Chains A and B, each alone.
Chain A
C-alpha cells in the first residue's frame, strides 16, 4: 500500500470535516429555502406566487447542474469566499451550493407531509404564522425531517469524495490519486470500505434519532 495509516486517518478526518461543515451551512440555507418554498405555496400560510416561482426556478437550476461541473463552474466564487480554489476549505463552497438546494427540496417534502388539518387547527387557535411553523409544522415533521437530512448527509459524503478531483482532500482524493492513478487497489479498497462504514453509521444514527423524535 502506498499510503500509511496516518494518511488514511487524515483523509478520513478531512472527509468528516468537509461533510460536517458543508452540511451545517447547507442546512441553514436549505432550511430557509425549504421553509419559504412551503409557506409561499398557493393556499399556504404566506402565499406569494412571485417568491415561490423565483425560488423554484433558482433551486431547479442548481439541482440540475452535475456536481463535478458545479465544482468547476463556481471556482471564481470559491476564490472570493475562501481565497483559494484548492484544498478542503475550497471544496466546502461547491458542496454547500450542491447540498443547499437539495436539502431545501427534502425539507419542503417533509413539511408538506404534515396534515393540512393540523395547520387549520393551529390557525383556528389564533396561532401566528411564526408559531404555526415552529410549534406545529416542524414538531410534526421532525421525525421525517431527520430521515431526510440523513439522506442529505449521505449524499454529501459521496459528493465530498468527488471533491477530491479538484484537490479537495479526503478519502475520495486518496482513492483517486493512489488507488486510481497509481493503481493501488488496496488503497481503493480500504477507502471504499471506510466510506461504506461511514454511510452505514450515519444512516443507522439517523434512523435511531428519527424514531426518538417521533414522540417528544
Chain B
C-alpha cells in the first residue's frame, strides 16, 4: 500500500518558487493498478518520484506499507528501493551492456552468485518474451523490446511495487497495447501493486482500476476508472475522457439538427452494467409513439463491465418525450440533454 499524506514539492528556479505538488492525498491499495493522469507540468513525474525518493517531498509523508520512507537512512532507502521497481519512458538501459547484463544489473548490485543470476535472468527474459535476445545490445532492439527489458530489469529484485513513468508514451499504439498487457499480467500473476503516470487516457481505460487526475500539483478528481469515465466532474477530466471516448456530435450535424421545424430533442443516454443488454429503444418508441433516431452509439468495456453510450434524437410531442425520458431513467440508465426544442 502506498499512501501520500499532504505531500508537497517546491522547487527553487532562480528567484521563483515552483510548486510542483500542492498537498497530495492519495491511497494506492495493495494489488491494484492505480493511474495518475495529467497534462505535462501537472506534477505527475514529481509525484511518482517521491515514492522511491528520487525526489524528496518538501513536506508531507509518503508511506509504503505503513512506513514513512522519508525518515529512513540512506542505506535503508536503498533497501526499500529494491522493493520498488521502476520503468521509464525512455527505458534508461545501459547501451554499453548486453540485454542479459542489463537485466542482471540489480542482481549484480546485490552480489547474487553468478549461477543464480544466470538462472533468474533467463526466467525474467522468458517472462517478457525476449529469451532469444539475451546477447543483443539495447540499440539493436525496438522500443517495445527495450521496454520489455526495462520491465524484466525492474522485476529482477522481486519488488512488491512497480512504478511506471510514462512507460508507453514513446511507443506506437500497437506496442503500447502489448506492453499494457504485460503490465496487467505482472499485476495478476505476481500481485504487484502498480502506480503509473501517463497523459494518455487510453492507458488508464485499458488497465487501471483507479485513477486520479492531477492538475497544477493537486488531485482534482479521483475514483474507480468506471466512475470517472462514466461521470467525469471536472472540465479537465471531461477533456481526458473525451479524448478516448469520442461521443460528441460533429458541429455540422448539430447545426442541421437545430432546426425548430423538426420538433426534436436530442439526449445522451448512458447504459451501464446489465441495462446494456435491454432492447430499450424499440420499447420506448412503441410505447410512446415517438420516432427515435440514433445519431451516435458505442459500447466500451471499463474494468470488465460494459458501458454503452447513445445519442438519440426524439421526435414527437413534448409531453410524450418527457414521459419517455422518465421511463428510461427508471432503469440503470443516465439521461442527459444535448438539445431541446421546447426550451
Report A's interface with B, CB cutoff 8 A.
115, 117-118, 120-121, 123-128, 131, 135-136, 139-140, 142-143, 213-216
B109-A131 in contact (CB<8A): yes
**Given that A123-B54, A123-B81, A124-B54 are known contacts, is A139 also in contact with B94, CB under 8 Å in the complex?**
yes
Indicate the member of B82, B90, B92, B98 with the most A CB atoms within 10 Å: B92
CA distance A135 to B104 in the complex (A): 12
> With A120-B88, A124-B54, A135-B108 as given contacts, are A140 and B95 in contact (CB-CB < 8 Å)?
yes
B86: CB under 8 A from chain A? yes
Whether B81 and A124, one on each chain, are in contact in the complex, defined by CB atoms closer than 8 angstroms, is yes
Cβ of B96 under 8 Å from chain A: yes
* Closest beta carbon of chain B to A128's beta carbon, Å: 6
Residue of A nearest to B137 (CB): A215
CA distance A121 to B81 in the complex (A): 11
Compute how far the CA of A142 lies from the CA of B92 in the bound complex, rounded to whole angstroms.
17
Does B84 make an interface contact (CB < 8 A)? Answer: yes
Contact present for B105 and A135 (CB under 8 Å): yes
Contacts of A124 in B (CB 8 A): 52, 54, 81, 84-86, 163
Per the bound structure, the CA–CA distance linking A128 and B109 in Å amounts to: 9
On whether the beta carbons of B157 and A125 are closer than 8 Å, the reply is yes
Q: Is the CB of B96 within 8 A of A121?
A: no
Q: Tell me, in angstroms, the Cα distance from A127 to B80 when the chains sit together.
A: 11
Contact present for A215 and B96 (CB under 8 Å): yes
Q: Given A124-B86, A126-B79, A126-B109, 5 more contacts at CB 8 Å?
A: A117-B90, A117-B91, A126-B82, A139-B97, A143-B96
User: In the bound complex, how far is the Cα of B108 from the Cα of A124, in angstroms?
Assistant: 15
One of A117, A127, A142 near B109 (C-beta < 8 A): A127
Q: Within the complex, what minimum Cβ distance (angstroms) separates A145 from chain B?
A: 11
Instruction: Report the bound CA distance from A53 to B92 in whole Å.
Output: 30
A-side contacts of B108, CB under 8 Å:
135
Q: Tell me what chain A mostly uses at the interface: helix, strand, loop, or mixed.
A: helix
CB atoms of A142 and B96 under 8 A apart:
yes
What are the 8 closest A-B residue pairs judged by CB atoms, nearest first? A126-B81, A117-B92, A121-B92, A124-B86, A126-B78, A126-B82, A125-B106, A139-B96
Q: Is there an interface contact between A128 and B78, defined as CB atoms closer than 8 Å?
A: yes
Q: Do residues B137 and A125 form an inter-chain contact, with CB atoms below 8 A?
A: no
State the Cβ distance, A80 to closest chain B Cβ, in Å.
Answer: 41
Smallest CB separation, B136 vs chain A (Å): 10
Given contacts A124-B81, A215-B137, A140 and B96 within 8 Å (CB-CB): yes
Task: Give the complex CA separation of A118 and B157 in angstroms.
Answer: 18
Chain B residues closer than 8 Å to A142, beta-carbon distance: 96
A120-B92 contact given A125-B157, A126-B78, A126-B82, CB 8 Å threshold: yes
Q: How far is the CA of A124 from the CA of B78 in the complex (A)?
A: 8
Distance in angstroms from A102 CB to nearest chain B CB is 25
Q: Contact at B54–A120, with CB atoms within 8 Å?
A: yes
Per-residue interface assignment for chain B, residues 99 to 136, with 1 indicating a CB less than 8 Å from any chain A CB and 0 otherwise: 00000011011000000000000000000000000000
Closest to A138 in B: B96
* Bound CA span A213–B96, Å: 8
Q: How distant is B298 from chain A, measured CB to nearest CB, in Å?
A: 39
Q: Which residues of A contact B85 (CB under 8 A)?
A: 124
Query: For B88, what are the chain A residues with a Cβ–Cβ distance below 8 Å?
Result: 117, 120-121
Q: Chain A residues with Cβ under 8 A from B86's Cβ?
A: 121, 124
Which B residues are CB-close (under 8 A) to A140? 94-96
* Chain B, 59-98, CB within 8 A of any chain A CB: 77-82, 84-86, 88, 90-98
| Most chain B CB atoms below 10 A, which of A123, A124, A128 | A124
**A214 vs B95: C-alpha distance in the bound complex, in angstroms?**
8
Q: Which residues of B contact A120 (CB under 8 A)?
A: 54, 88, 92
User: Which of A126, A131, A214 contacts B96 (CB under 8 A)?
Assistant: A214
